[in-house]
């Protein structure tokens, strides 16, 4: 059997061993953080320690962190809890479905939204968002790093523009947390959604950062947990595991960025050396996410063939996998349906190596040779 190599960190990252240990230890805390007895108060100390550590990483106060079941819940909370009939939202065409679908649902109840296309590099420009503003615009929602292409949006520019117009600013930072610097206050953010499992934390764990002074209703109405912003007994072990994963991700952020850049270079150089005809989708991307089109080769067939070679990669985003739909992100960037259907994503993370990237690119070369790629078109000068 082929060696198994995981190249799908943007779908989810394997649990870090240190997080696994922290989860096991946290599982022994017997109390409910809302209880006033010793067991509850011990649990509460651990809960608030995790909250403070996550808040410090994002440059905000601990009371501004609301732990959730993931990025999906955090994004849903913002839209459902904030928007009223008559409000308008400016968002982008490259957002994750957990931003797009809630807005579509709210549109049935009188909320309107405008969807701004990215430029050809895949990034969404603050000036284009500004063009879509209306007098009733209440919120701008722009993701930090795209999950399919790795393209990084200029949040600082968008935040500055939002502040000039006195409009609330939200970002889906699920693919950015722990990977690029994120200071909510400096970026002018009112809301930020993040997830633990993209950085080696537990799955089903996330957070919503909500700056104080921006009132919103809880999505999950219930008890007064999470400063009355989310009812339900906290997932204490998950929260402790999340804080641990973030601490580890931040400690290695710079080093990992450099390693990812080397991995990307090796991966693309190997494709070049083997004369594979490919196009890179998205410029200026976070180096750990590599999205390529292989002209003449179906993306889904490629994923299955790479799986047989032992490499776990993806076609479009993991949330859309299982569907044959070409990626809405790539279509929004101007790719044809065919080009989008011929695109695949490799994503690397804390456990990846240059040797693995070289192996993955060599496997692409083998599969492409087997499947028979049409000759490359001459380069346009
Ligand atoms: C950009 C982006 N937003 C949101 C999500 C959803 O996060 P979660 O899986 O924690 O609900 C994902 C994960 O696939 C993502 O990549």
- What is the three-state SS of 8-51? ECCCCCCCCHHHHHHHHHHCCCCCCCCCCCHHHHHHHHHHHHHH
H or E stretch at 189? none
CB-based contact 159:110 (threshold 8 Å): no
CB-based contact 48:37 (threshold 8 Å): no
**Cβ neighbour number for residue 45 with a 10 Å cutoff:** 13
DSSP character at residue 232: S
Q: How many domains does the chain have?
A: 2
Token pair in block for residue 30: 């017997």
In a domain, 186, yes or no: yes
In this structure, the answer to whether residues 40 and 165 fall within a common structural domain is: yes
* Mutational pocket test of ligand 1: of 13, 72, 100, the residue with most ligand atoms within 8 Å of the beta carbon: 72
In a domain, 296, yes or no: yes
Q: Which of 222, 250, 278 is the C-terminal boundary of a domain?
A: 250
Q: Is the CB of 99 under 6 A from ligand 1?
A: no
Q: Is the CB of 206 under 6 A from ligand 1?
A: yes
What separation in Å is there between the alpha carbon of 371 and the centre of ligand 1? 33
pLDDT of residue 240: 98
Q: Which of 250, 278, 304 is the C-terminal boundary of a domain?
A: 250
* Domain housing 271: 5-13+252-371
Strand 206-210 with 65-68, pairing: antiparallel
Among the listed residues 131, 116, 117, 123, the one whose alpha carbon sits nearest the alpha carbon of residue 154: 123
Q: Is the CB of 76 under 6 A from ligand 1?
A: no
Which atom of ligand 1 is least distant from the CA of 74? 11
Instruction: Output helix, strand, coil percentages for the chain, rounded to the nearest 5.
Output: 40, 15, 45
Among the listed residues 87, 85, 131, 136, the one whose alpha carbon sits nearest the alpha carbon of residue 108: 85
In a domain, 21, yes or no: yes
What separation in Å is there between the alpha carbon of 279 and the centre of ligand 1? 26
Token pair in block for residue 106: 């709210």
In this structure, the answer to whether residues 59 and 174 fall within a common structural domain is: yes
Among the listed residues 348, 277, 355, 350, the one whose alpha carbon sits nearest the alpha carbon of residue 313: 348
pLDDT of residue 162: 98
In a domain, 381, yes or no: no
CB-based contact 194:173 (threshold 8 Å): yes
Residue among 93, 117, 133, 319 flagged as catalytic? 319
CB-based contact 108:100 (threshold 8 Å): no
* Protein residue closest via CA to atom 7 of ligand 1: 71
* Mutational pocket test of ligand 1: of 175, 245, 286, the residue with most ligand atoms within 8 Å of the beta carbon: 175
Token pair in block for residue 206: 């996330």
pLDDT of residue 1: 65
pLDDT of residue 322: 55
Q: Is the CB of 297 under 6 A from ligand 1?
A: no
Q: Is the CB of 68 under 6 A from ligand 1?
A: no
H or E stretch at 257? helix 253-273
In this structure, the answer to whether residues 299 and 154 fall within a common structural domain is: no
In this structure, the answer to whether residues 232 and 107 fall within a common structural domain is: yes
Which atom of ligand 1 is least distant from the CA of 73? 11
* Protein residue closest via CA to atom 8 of ligand 1: 71
Q: Is the CB of 148 under 6 A from ligand 1?
A: no
In this structure, the answer to whether residues 135 and 229 fall within a common structural domain is: yes
CB-based contact 321:227 (threshold 8 Å): no
What separation in Å is there between the alpha carbon of 145 and the centre of ligand 1? 11
CB-based contact 172:143 (threshold 8 Å): yes
In this structure, the answer to whether residues 267 and 196 fall within a common structural domain is: no
In this structure, the answer to whether residues 55 and 147 fall within a common structural domain is: yes
Strand 137-141 with 112-116, pairing: unpaired
* Mutational pocket test of ligand 1: of 8, 13, 71, the residue with most ligand atoms within 8 Å of the beta carbon: 71
pLDDT of residue 323: 59
Instruction: Check if 319 is active-site.
Output: yes
pLDDT of residue 2: 78
In this structure, the answer to whether residues 216 and 318 fall within a common structural domain is: no
Counting as low any pLDDT under 50, the low residues of the chain are 378-381
Domain at 41, CATH number: 3.40.640.10
In this structure, the answer to whether residues 214 and 334 fall within a common structural domain is: no
270-318 confidence digits (pLDDT tens): 999 999 999 999 988 999 999 999 999 999 999 999 999 999 999 976 5
In a domain, 357, yes or no: yes
In a domain, 81, yes or no: yes
CB-based contact 291:7 (threshold 8 Å): no
In a domain, 300, yes or no: yes
Q: Is the CB of 195 under 6 A from ligand 1?
A: yes
212-245 confidence digits (pLDDT tens): 989 899 999 999 999 999 999 999 999 999 999 9
pLDDT of residue 381: 37
What separation in Å is there between the alpha carbon of 70 and the centre of ligand 1? 7
Q: Is the CB of 202 under 6 A from ligand 1?
A: no
Domain at 319, CATH number: 3.90.1150.10
CB-based contact 169:189 (threshold 8 Å): yes
In this structure, the answer to whether residues 329 and 340 fall within a common structural domain is: yes
Q: Which of 250, 276, 302 is the C-terminal boundary of a domain?
A: 250
In a domain, 378, yes or no: no
3-state secondary structure 152-170: ECCHHHHHHHHHHCCCEEE
In this structure, the answer to whether residues 186 and 287 fall within a common structural domain is: no
In this structure, the answer to whether residues 333 and 276 fall within a common structural domain is: yes
């Amino acid at each position: 059997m082929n060696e198994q190599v995981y190249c799908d960190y943007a779908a989810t990252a394997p649990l870090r061993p240190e997080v696994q240990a922290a989860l096991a230890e946290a599982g022994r805390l017997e109390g409910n953080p809302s209880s006033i007895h010793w067991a509850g108060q011990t649990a509460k100390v651990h809960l608030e320690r995790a909250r403070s550590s996550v808040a410090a990483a994002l440059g905000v106060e601990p009371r501004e962190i609301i732990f959730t079941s993931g990025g999906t819940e955090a994004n849903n909370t913002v839209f459902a809890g904030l928007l009223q009939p008559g409000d308008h939202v400016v968002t982008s065409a490259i957002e994750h479905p957990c931003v797009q679908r809630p807005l579509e649902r709210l549109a049935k109840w009188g909320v309107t939204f405008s969807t701004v296309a990215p430029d050809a590099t895949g990034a969404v420009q603050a000036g284009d968002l500004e063009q879509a503003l209306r007098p009733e615009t209440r919120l701008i929602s722009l993701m930090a790093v795209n999950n399919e292409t790795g393209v990084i949006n200029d949040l600082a520019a968008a935040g500055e523009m939002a502040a000039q117009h006195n409009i609330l600013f939200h970002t889906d930072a699920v693919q950015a947390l722990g990977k690029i610097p994120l200071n909510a206050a400096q970026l002018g953010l009112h809301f930020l959604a993040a997830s633990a499992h993209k950085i080696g934390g537990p799955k089903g764990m996330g957070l919503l950062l909500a700056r104080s002074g921006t009132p919103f209703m809880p999505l999950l109405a219930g008890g007064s947990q999470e400063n009355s912003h989310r009812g339900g007994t906290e997932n204490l072990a998950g929260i402790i595991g999340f804080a641990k994963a973030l601490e580890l991700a931040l400690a290695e952020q710079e080093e990992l960025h450099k390693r990812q850049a080397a991995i990307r270079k090796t991966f693309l150089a190997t494709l070049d050396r083997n004369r594979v005809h490919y196009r890179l989708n998205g410029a200026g991307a976070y180096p750990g996410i590599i999205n390529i089109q292989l002209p003449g080769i179906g993306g889904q067939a490629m994923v299955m063939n790479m799986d047989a070679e032992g490499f776990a990669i993806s076609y479009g985003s993991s949330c859309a996998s299982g569907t044959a739909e070409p990626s809405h992100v790539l279509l929004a960037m101007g790719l044809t349906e065919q080009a989008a259907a011929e695109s695949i994503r490799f994503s690397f993370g804390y456990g990846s190596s240059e040797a693995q990237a070289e192996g993955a690119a060599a496997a692409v070369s083998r599969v492409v040779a087997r499947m028979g790629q049409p000759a490359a078109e001459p380069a346009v000068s």
